[in-house]
Structure 1
Amino acid sequence: MRQTDIAIIGGGLAGSTAAAMLGRAGVSAILIEPHRLHPPELRCEKIGGQPQIDRLAKTGLLDAVFDAATHDHEIWLARFGRVIDKRPSQQHGFLYETLVNTVRGEIPSSVETIHAKAVSIRTSDDRQTIGLSTGEDISARLVVLANGASVGLRDQLKIGRPVISACHSISVGFDIAPKDRDTFEFPALTYFAEATRHRTAYLTLFPIGATMRGNLFVYREANDPWVRAMRRTPEAALDECLPKLRALIGDYTISGDVKIRPIDLYESDNVVQPGIVLVGDAFASPCPGSGCGTDKVFTDVVQLCSVHIPNWLASPGMGAEKIGQYYSDPLKLECDAWAKKKAFTLRAVTLENSLYWRMQRWIRFFGRLGEGIVRRARETLPGELALVGCALVVMSVPAM
């Protein structure tokens, strides 16, 4: 039986990041993952915004990830068939499998990777035993469960996964190209929904290498006829939910495999148990449209690997009182609550027609429009005129 301090089950973004961080810190760790290379999967396909970049930087993996990504530099914001702002962008795009395999490449050789499936687990206040599909057992002081939505091991430990919002949203990923011309006019584009009846939050288009990638976020049932249409006639389905898009960006074609992923929001319970912690999607699912998935992963892993594991390994045992410190970590609690709030706010602002939510949509629209006008004024007008124009715009935008 192989012995280690930390056994990580699952080599997706959370598990691979944890393996890289622990290995660099000199902690004895083993990563258990059946796939030598992460297979194609529709999950996070870009990182952007300073808070998200700061969270990535804390993992020590920022340079490697950005070297494998495509920076779009500028993004256009649009609604109602018109561009309302062109702003500098910190977005870096990549396919999810590229992201995960890049992070795996940063795992030090001191961390052994076992290509097998974890099929059983026994926990205690001291050491944990993991049974592998190869027939081998691994003994560890702590198990980091990072196997996403898989339920087999959690069922053995009686860890529940109550659903907070069934089919909360649907994410769609595809490649898009201009028709009868070489490139789109925009470097990257976010197009916001035009009306609640379209049940669409937004479409974001961004480059990955020489390919323009599309991520679309809608609120429909998994068996909605529109979902089938998106697979069979994606251009017509996209026109249906964003009718004025084509007039703005020109004729286009959608090529390759259209990936569609319905999202249930859930949060695990009965998690404070000796010898095991859950990170990333293994603990709770984010809404991809809210853009919080990587924030949750990096917050979980950084707090666990930088704060809690070093403290836990400094003393004997791995009882529930230690594990509870991770789940009550203030930064983790704050990030989890923020991500959940954003998920429900985005759904409400997309679908609800009460006076409050109609006002929220207009506030967001005029806020973005105002920022665009201010930005253009600063770029084109003399200093004093720009200040006057900016003041007039600010006075005309509704307060939050």
Structure 2
Amino acid sequence: MQTEVAVVGGGLAGALAATMLGRAGHDVVIVDPHEVYPPDFRCEKLEQGHMAVLRRCGVADAILRNATHTGELWIARFGRIVDKVPFDQFGLAYERLVNTVRAEIPASVRVCRTFVDGVTPGADGAQVRLADGRTITARLVVLASGPNWTLRQALGLTRDLVSPCHSITVGFDLEPAGGGDFAFPGLQYNPERSSEGMAYLSLFRIGRTMRANLFLYQPLKSPWLKSFREDPDAALAVLMPRLSRVIGPSRVVGPVKVRPTDLHEMHDPVRPGVVLVGDAFATPCPATGTGSLKVFTDVERLCNTHIPRWLSTPGMGTEKIGAYYADPAKTACDAMSVARAYELRALTLGTGPVWEARRYMRFGLRLLRWGLRSLVPSLPARRTEREADDAPKSASPVR
């Protein structure tokens, strides 16, 4: 089988690449074993900065039709609301996000429902070996296989584990203990004590469900995580004893999902005829909210800018592939994601009077702004994505 572009992996990055390239009229084959993308605990919320990139990818409207939108974020700490700010959030389960993008793939894109055994790079034609014995020869292979390392290792790529278990994400549903509904549209609850290793709790809506994502800096076998698995309601009360003052009595419902994240550093990813996107290139820290932004930026730059240029001339050598990895928008997004990963961890875990002062200063300034707006209603709220210490168009938490 021959094609211009073979996309390996039908997750978020692969489905988005196949959609964009197919719509642009390129000959595309996507390889993924799943007819329907299965449940997976990954990104569950998009924010206003993500949508700006998705509009350039051409899929924003489809995602908006399937997501739950809220336009205001309440921010709380120490058992009290410290701010209410206009902030667009769009909640949807990861598998629904992926399947929504998959539904946008044009009928012209050929689909191979099988696994990939290996990828062989080549400037004059890369090859994808399928588990069913077939081989795809493509001018370009877009490797969108997520965090699975097997295919990348076979390409001779290497990486260093620079921060094992850098963060842990815990996902669960929350409901009012007495029935009814919560009063807030979306809420971010910041930690009460730095000693607990809690980054923040994000509460947002998916349909009628209040979804919770709790971000931690703890060992995977920490005593608190063990207690949470055994009795989640009691464990939350220990971690955030004053949370109920803000949201009222509540209880955890449904299954609890825990996802640890390691940070790696990739070495020399340039291979002729093969390009890596999304988590196949680098896994970001979910606590920073930059993971989806990285995926969208990778695919948008690759499919809107680089691939059309590459296919207009013969060959697919390293000078072409290297241009993508050096793309200013991609490198800026990558650098921001890495910086955020370490900044948020340091702000959460840092000890001593300087770090304590930084945390309390953020709390005090936000409380002051909230108080001033209460006295002067015409005073505009400061949008969370433009906080002085937060990158524009990121989903970084607000302190």
Q: Which TM-score bucket, shorter chain as reference?
A: over 0.9
Q: Which amino acid aligns with 2:17?
A: A
- Partners of 2:14 and 2:235 in 1: CA distance: 36
In structure 1, the partner of 2:34 is: 35
Return closer, same or farther for 1:102/1:341 CA change in 2, 3 Å cut-off: same
Shift, 1:161, TM fit = 2.6
Unaligned runs of 5+ in 2: 383-399
Per the alignment, residue 243 of structure 2 pairs with 245
Gaps of 5+ in 1: 391-400
Local SS of the residue matching 1:89? strand
AA aligned to 1:42 is: F
State whether structure 2 residue 27 is matched by structure 1 residue 14. Answer: no
Match of 2:338 in 1: 340
Contact 1:158–1:270 at 8 Å: present in 2 too? no
User: Which whole-Å CA distance do the structure 2 matches of 1:108 and 1:130 have between them?
Assistant: 22
Equivalent position SS for 2:159: coil
Is 1:26 matched with 2:43?
no
1:293: how far off?
0.6
1:6 positional shift: 0.6
State the shift of 1:279 in Å. Answer: 0.5
Alpha carbons 2:80, 2:245 under 8 Å: kept: no
Q: Which residue of 1 aligns with 2:267?
A: 269
- Cα deviation 1:38-61 (Å, max 9, x = unaligned): 111111111113x32211211111
**1:353 to partner: Cα distance:** 1.3
CA contact (8 A) 1:198 1:240 kept: no
**Does the 8 A contact of 1:177 with 1:212 survive in 2?**
yes
Equivalent residue in structure 1 for 2:118, among 110, 117, 120: 120
**2:227 aligned residue:** 229
Matches within 5 A, 1:168-179: 168-179=166-177
Q: How far does residue 13 in structure 1 lie from its aligned partner after superposition?
A: 0.8
One-letter amino acid of the structure 1 residue matched with residue 232 of structure 2? P
In structure 1, what is the Cα distance between the partners aligned to 2:37 and 2:233?
Answer: 29
TM-score (norm 2): 0.92
Amino acid of the structure 2 residue aligned with 1:102? T
Cα separation, 2, equivalents of 1:363 and 1:126: 58
Task: Tell me the equivalent position of 2:139.
Answer: 141
Taking the aligned partners of 1:146 and 1:284, their CA distance within structure 2 comes to: 11
1:366-389 Cα deviation digits (max 9, x unpaired): 23223323433342xxx6xx69xx
How many angstroms apart in 1 are the aligned matches of 2:16 and 2:36?
A: 15
- Aligned residue pairs total 381
Scaled by the length of structure 1, the TM-score of the pair is 0.92
The one-letter code matched in structure 2 to 1:272 is V
Deviation at 1:221, TM superposition (A): 0.7
Q: Is the 8 A contact 1:198 1:242 kept in 2?
A: no
CA contact (8 A) 2:275 2:321 kept: yes
Q: Superposition RMSD on alpha carbons, in Å?
A: 1.5
Displacement after TM superposition at 1:232 (Å): 2.2
Deviation sequence 1:281-329 (CA, Å, 0-9, x none): 1111111110001110111001100111011111111111111101111
The correspondence of residues 1-400 of structure 1 with structure 2, limited to 5 A, is: 2-49=1-48, 51-379=49-377
In terms of mean alpha carbon deviation, does 363-372 or 136-145 score higher?
Answer: 363-372
